Homo-oligomer: A and B are copies of this chain.
Amino acid sequence: MKYSNQTRILVAVDCIIFGFDGSEYKLLLIQRGFAPEKEKWSLMGGFVQPKESLDMAAERVLNQLTGLHNVYLEQLQAFSSPERDPIERVIAVAYVALIDINKYQKQINDDFHARWFPMKSLPKLIFDHNDMVETALQKLRYKAAFHPILFELLPEKFTLPQLQTLYEGLYDTKIDKRNFTKKVLSTKILNRQDEKDKSSSKKGAYYYSIDEVAYKDNFQNFLNFIPKNDLLLL
C-alpha cells in the first residue's frame, strides 16, 4: 500500500567538510564528474537510497570521499527551493563534517578530484552550495562557542597555541594567551602530556589530549569564546 496522488521527490545529502591546517580553515570540495555542471566545484553529495536514513547516506558519502569512519557529522538543514537543481527537483539535506585534515589521504579516492580550499578563497560552487557553506560556517561559529567541537579538527594530541589559533581563526579575532589558557584549562577537559611539540618553537609547547570523561561531562556546558562585542549567532 502506498499514499496515492502524491509526488515523490529526489532527496540528496551534501557534505560540508571542514578542516584546519594549523593556520586556516579549509573546505574539501570535489570536481563534479557528471552533468549538469560537470567539472565545476561542488560539495560532495549523493542521493538517498531506499533503505538508508539521511544520517546513513551522509556517512556513506563522506566515507566514499575520505575513507574515514566515525567522524563528527551533524545534520545542518534541508535546502528545498524547487529550482535549486536545473535538471530535476532535488531536496538536499546538508551535513557538516569536521575532520582532522591530516587523516585525509589524497590517494584514498581520487575519482572525485577532491581538493582542500581555504575558506577565504572558495570558488563559486554549483547550485546553492555556497549558501550551504555560509550557513554551515555560521552554525559552526555558534555551536563552537558553547560546545567543545573544534577539537574534532585537531589530531589526538595538540598544543595550546594550536588550539588558540583554531578559535582565533573561526572568530577572526585575537584572544589573550593568558586568558585563553586559563579558560580552557579550567574546564578540566585537557590532559597535559609529558611530551612537547618542538616543530614551531625552540622551547616547545606541551601536547594536550582530551580527557574523555570530562569532555562528555562538559559537552553541554562549555565556555563561551565568542568575543562579547560581535556575537555571530545562528
Q: From residue A91, how far is it (CB to closest CB) to chain B in Å?
A: 6
A49 neighbours in B (Cβ, 8 Å): 7
| Residues of B close to A81: CB separation below 8 A | 53
**Cross-chain contact A89 with B47 (CB below 8 angstroms):** no
Do A77 and B80 touch (CB < 8 A)? no
Shortest CB-to-CB span from A21 to chain B, Å, is 29
Report yes or no: A52 in contact with B87, Cβ–Cβ below 8 A.
no
Within 8 A of B (CB), among A194-234: 220-221, 231-233
Q: A2-B87, A10-B8, A233-B220 are in contact. Are A80 and B51 (CB under 8 A)?
A: no
Interface size class of A (residues with CB under 8 A): 35 or more
- From B75, B90, B147, A233 is in contact (CB under 8 Å) with B147
Docked pose: A8 CA to B89 CA in angstroms:
10
Bound-state CA distance A107–B49 (Å) is 43
Determine whether A55 belongs to the interface, using a CB cutoff of 8 Å to chain B.
yes
Closest B residue, CB atoms, query A142 = B146
**A51 touching B233 by the CB < 8 A rule?**
no
A6 and B3 alpha carbons, distance in the complex (Å): 19
In the complex, A8→B91 CA distance in Å?
Answer: 10
Top 9 closest pairs, chain A to chain B, by CB: A8-B8, A54-B80, A220-B233, A53-B80, A221-B231, A6-B47, A2-B88, A7-B50, A9-B11
Q: List 7 A-B contacts (CB under 8 A).
A: A3-B47, A6-B10, A8-B8, A8-B9, A52-B82, A75-B78, A221-B231
